[in-house]
Amino acid sequence: MTQPEEPELVRILAADGSLAPSPAAEPYGELVNALADSDLEMLYRDMVVIRAIDRQATNLQRQGQLALWPPSLGQEAAQVGSARAARAQDHLFPSYREHVVTRIRGVDPIGIIKLMRGLSHGGWDPTDPANGNTHIYTLVLGAQTLHATGYGMGLVFDGRCGTGDLERDEAVIVYYGDGASSQGDVHEAMVFAASYRTPEVFFLQNNQWAISVPVATQSRTPLVRRGEGYGMPSIRIDGNDV
């Protein structure tokens, strides 16, 4: 059986950091050029600060102080780019690895540490404005995609999206992994999202592995093609490129 082709990758920077937009990145050139030096510094600072927190927490886990710590190491760029693109009124539904996202939205990393140490059931209060509409981590793979789609359907029913007023319209981002993309929950969430046209980004972070199972075992088709199957515009981006 021949494998379906991978769609073209959206990438602005080459591996050595030089500016080398891929053909698929062309529609985004204007947005990238509009970023000020101070914006670029902020994006870089986000990545560096969280890597320091992540390294410390990983050490705590190895010392037996935390039951679990899923590192964000190596996934900073994708997380920073998406979290900084979200507006204040948007709601974000993380999986369990989005330490960069939560930090950018205002969640105190101590809340995550408490969760991973077993001292808290949630870690933070998503209704507290200080936490930037960041919902709590979900360890049950893919369940957060249903929560996000449900929230998005609520936005549709309440007329809180799609008016064209960017300052008022609300949207949802949900984060999940390549392994989670095989969960039934994710597919149910996509069916309802497409049917109800929820204002929602399914943000699949493909780090190539679901614990010990490689992505090639999970799917006969590139994962980005699954979104297209539900009628959703889908793009494949270089996750190492903010």
Ligand X SMILES: Cc1ncc(C[n+]2csc(CCOP(=O)(O)OP(=O)(O)O)c2C)c(N)n1
Question: Residue 76: which of 184, 227, 207, 166 has the closest Cα?
Answer: 207
For residues 100 and 83, the answer to whether their CB atoms sit within 8 Å is: yes
The residue sitting closest to ligand X, measured at its beta carbon, is 177
CB atoms within 10 A of CB 189: 27
Number of other residues whose CB lies within 10 A of the CB of residue 1: 4
Tokens of 114: 């408490």
Residue (195 or 217) nearer to ligand X, CB:
217
As measured in angstroms, the least distance from the Cβ of 7 to ligand X is 20
The CA distance from 89 to 132, in Å, is 8
Q: Is residue 210 a contact residue for ligand X (CB under 6 A)?
A: yes
**Beta partners for residue 1, in sequence order:** none
Q: Does 207 bind ligand X (CB under 6 A)?
A: yes
Which range of residues in 54-62, 173-181, 222-230, 232-240 is near ligand X by CB under 6 A?
173-181
Could you say which of 111, 177, 199, 239 contacts Mg ion (CB under 5 A)?
177
| Residue 200 binds to Mg ion (criterion: CB under 5 A) | no
Contact with ligand X (CB under 6 A) among 113, 141, 174, 201: 141
Part in contact with ligand X (CB under 6 A); list of ranges 14-22, 29-37, 136-144, 191-199? 136-144
Cα 164 to Cα 235: distance, rounded to the nearest angstrom: 22
* C-beta separation of 163 from 169 below 8 A: yes
From the list 28, 44, 209, 230, which residue makes contact with ligand X (rule: CB under 6 A)? Answer: 209
User: Which of helix, strand or coil describes residue 160?
Assistant: coil
Span from 34-42, 45-53, 117-125, 171-179 in contact with ligand X (CB under 6 A): 171-179
Both tokens of 108, joined, read 């105190």
- Under the binding rule (CB under 6 A), the answer on residue 68 touching ligand X is no
The reply on whether position 223 binds ligand X by CB under 6 A is: no
78 or 242: CB nearest ligand X: 78
| H helical segments located in the chain | 29-33, 37-62, 76-85, 99-104, 109-117, 143-157, 184-196, 215-218, 224-229
Shortest CB 50 distance to ligand X, Å: 15
Exactly one of 23, 211, 216, 233 binds ligand X (CB under 6 A); that residue is: 211
Binding site for ligand X (CB under 6 A): 70, 97, 139-141, 177-180, 207, 209-211
Q: Which residues bind Mg ion (CB under 5 A)?
A: 177-179, 207, 209
